[in-house]
Amino acid sequence: MTRVVAVAALQVVVLLGMAGYHEYVQRTAPTFRIPLAPSDPFDVLRGRYFVLNPTDRFIRGGSPHLSQAEVDRFLFGEESFSGEAEVGFCPVDDIYRVCALRRPGESYSPGPATFWSRARLDLNRDTGFSLGLNLRLDRFFIPNQTELPGPETEAGWELEVSFRPGRTLLPRRLYFKAAPVEGAR
């Protein structure tokens, strides 16, 4: 009987420790905002939520923030890359955009990238290049009583994320046109 109680107590401690760690990270980690692509989420079964599709989720043919030279350096003579990598975010006005790429184990290149996060990349050398980026940000649930300041299909939505070095980003708060959305966390 004592073993059962000890195992149950250990499981509770592990779960509380994980929850406490994520709360600690969200409270103390540096944060930054990334722009979101407008979307129109509606699902009767799941309730209200906001789809977190970063603007830089798909880049085709070039980007003012992610240069062709950076893509060529990352590919290093290959025609494509598919797998885990890290992406660097650079400040552009009050938000951050994808501007650098790094393979696992590669040292950080000196440059404007301030924050780095794990991501899944699908990069092809097409006309210019084609980048598919999965930051593992899925959706942001919104309480039913929360009124959004604008429709989900309008431009101007941003997501504040907590930065954890070398790990995925943690969603923290929604913003609309640089103002936090109250009640949506």
Q: Give pLDDT tens digits for 46-75.
A: 666 677 778 888 888 778 888 888 888 888
What are 184's two structure tokens? 């949506």
Domain assignments of the chain as residue spans, ordered by start: 1-54+137-185, 59-135
Span 136-160, average pLDDT: 79
Q: Judge residue 129's burial from the number of C-beta atoms within 10 Å of its C-beta, 0-12 exposed, 13-18 middle, 19 or more buried.
A: buried
pTM value is 0.79
pLDDT value at residue 90 = 92
The more confidently predicted of residues 168 and 85 is 85
pLDDT value at residue 27 = 77
Which three-class secondary structure state does DSSP give residue 106? coil
pLDDT value at residue 48 = 63
